[in-house]
């Protein structure tokens, strides 16, 4: 459920009409419901209340510090994949011992930053990475808590670009070779082994891949115990999907029941890294119609949002619902909803039956709270948009729209060109 609903033919976010926000905030802008973010987090967290667990929101899904603070205030942690995300998490007030560092390419300065911060653990993706972390921990005079990210070679049956658990992917360590990696790590002077990690993909709508993954994790933990390697944390990653169109993902309660069945006897703390399932349907992208046009083949609705603002349709062919901010009796037509960028791939919807929008109308691009702003860019030197959060009958700008000076920040014309 979410808090974007029509009242008297007008789309509201909680108790605020979206058209009223658009009068004060230049379009396009991202709009988040604080109540939806809060409810989604608490439903997910409560589903696992019968076991020791930590919900670490995936910062890559939505990195705004106000969004992160919403979950941190509920006792949540964060899953990060860069030094920048670590910085954001700390600025939002995250507890270091509730921070998990994932990702295949951790740089030396990022590792140093994380070690000095004393994060909960690194999810290790390669032997070389392990050795680098061991060396840096020794230089700093500390110890690094780690888990290995295991690649179980399980197909999550999602989009190939967001599937991460097969042998051919860059992520993780082959499950069949993981035991020897753990034995090697046990001999290193500055490493404390505490966990097993696995993340098989994103926007998964079937529980079977998760269950198959846990079965393989259990096998590994049993092998580790025989080698005298104790495991206190199991990181299952994220990946639970949401409804964009006609998907029917399992409710977090059902997901939790199946996971708990698999691990309740292991006496480990379960770490979960949800992102999309918490934030996806808690946000929308609000855009204004600039022009409409038609050619011999089709109709076009040209809006002021573009692929640089929301990359998912162009990148993945992803579906986002298109809703009018005001319901009016204008009829429907088949059209492409496109942006101003000079690329044929600049579309937010293709061949979609939608309201017959007119110049000046506002449209809501639904389910844009995850992998929306975080994937945006300045392509075509377009300004990155505002982010707004509604709570009850108030709204707050949680990121200012960029200005032209921001586009050239850090750039210089060398003297030889003057």
Of 13, 198, 268, 342, the catalytic one is 342
- Residue linked to tokens 């507890």: 95
Are 273 and 199 within 8 A, CB to CB? yes
For the chain, give percent helix, strand, coil, nearest 5: 35, 30, 40
Peptide bond into 96 cis (omega under 30): no
* Residues in contact with 109: Cβ distance below 8 Å, sequence separation at least 6, in sequence order: 83
Please state, in angstroms and rounded to a whole number, the distance separating the CA atoms of residues 124 and 130. Answer: 6
- Rounded to 5°, the CA angle 85-91-95 comes to 85
Instruction: Name the nearest CA neighbour of 198 among 241, 158, 233.
Output: 233
- Residue linked to tokens 């020897």: 180
Tokens found for residue 331? 């009829």
Instruction: Name the nearest CA neighbour of 38 among 386, 279, 316, 369.
Output: 279
Sign of CA dihedral 17, 20, 26, 32: negative
> Given its phi and psi angles, is residue 75 left (phi above 0), alpha (psi -120 to 50 degrees) or beta?
left
Distance in Å from the first CA to the final CA of the chain: 58
Active site residue 13: no
Q: Is 234 helix (H, G, I), strand (E, B) or coil?
A: strand
Are 155 and 164 within 8 A, CB to CB? no
Strands (DSSP E) found in 266-361: 269-272, 283-294, 299-303, 322-324, 332-338, 347-355
DSSP string, 40-96: HHHHHHHHTTTS-EEEEEETTT---HHHHHHHHTTT-EEEESSHHHHHHHHHTT--G
Tokens found for residue 193? 């082994």
What positions carry a catalytic annotation? Answer: 342
């Amino acid at each position: 459920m979410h808090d974007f609903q029509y009242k008297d033919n007008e789309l509201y976010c909680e108790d605020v009409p979206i058209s009223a926000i658009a009068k004060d905030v230049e379009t396009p802008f991202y709009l988040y419901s604080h109540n939806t973010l809060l409810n989604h987090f608490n439903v997910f967290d409560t589903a696992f209340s019968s076991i020791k667990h930590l919900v670490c929101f995936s910062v890559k899904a939505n990195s705004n510090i106000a969004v992160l603070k919403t979950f941190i205030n509920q006792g949540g942690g964060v899953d990060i994949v860069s030094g920048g995300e670590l910085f954001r998490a700390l600025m939002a007030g995250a507890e270091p011992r509730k921070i998990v560092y994932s990702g295949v390419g951790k740089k030396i300065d990022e590792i140093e930053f994380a070690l000095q911060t004393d994060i909960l653990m690194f999810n290790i993706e390669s032997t070389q990475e392990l050795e680098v972390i061991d060396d840096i921990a020794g230089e700093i005079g500390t110890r690094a808590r780690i888990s290995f990210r295991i690649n179980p070679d399980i197909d999550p049956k999602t989009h190939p670009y967001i599937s991460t658990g097969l042998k051919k992917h860059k992520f993780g360590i082959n499950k069949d070779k993981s035991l020897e990696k753990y034995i090697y790590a046990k001999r290193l002077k500055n490493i404390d082994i505490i966990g097993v990690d696995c993340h098989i993909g994103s926007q998964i709508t079937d529980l079977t891949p998760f269950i198959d993954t846990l079965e393989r994790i259990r096998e590994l933990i049993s092998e580790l115990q025989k080698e005298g390697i104790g495991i206190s944390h199991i990181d299952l990653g994220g990946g639970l999907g949401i409804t964009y169109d006609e998907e029917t993902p399992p409710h977090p309660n059902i997901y939790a029941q199946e996971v708990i069945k698999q691990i309740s006897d292991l006496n480990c703390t379960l770490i979960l890294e949800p992102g999309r399932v918490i934030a996806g349907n808690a946000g929308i992208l609000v855009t204004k119609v600039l022009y409409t046009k038609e050619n011999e083949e089709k109709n076009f609705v040209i809006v002021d949002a573009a692929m640089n603002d929301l990359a998912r349709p162009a990148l993945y062919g992803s579906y986002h619902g298109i809703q009018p901010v005001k319901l009016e009796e204008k009829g429907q037509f088949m059209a492409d909803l496109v942006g101003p960028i000079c690329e044929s791939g600049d579309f937010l919807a293709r061949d979609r039956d939608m309201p017959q929008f007119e110049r000046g109308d506002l449209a809501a691009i639904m389910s844009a709270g995850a992998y929306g702003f975080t994937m945006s860019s300045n392509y075509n030197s377009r300004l990155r948009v505002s982010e707004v959060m509604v709570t009850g009958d108030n709204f707050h700008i949680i990121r200012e729209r960029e200005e032209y000076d921001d586009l050239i920040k850090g750039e210089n014309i060398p003297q030889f060109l003057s």
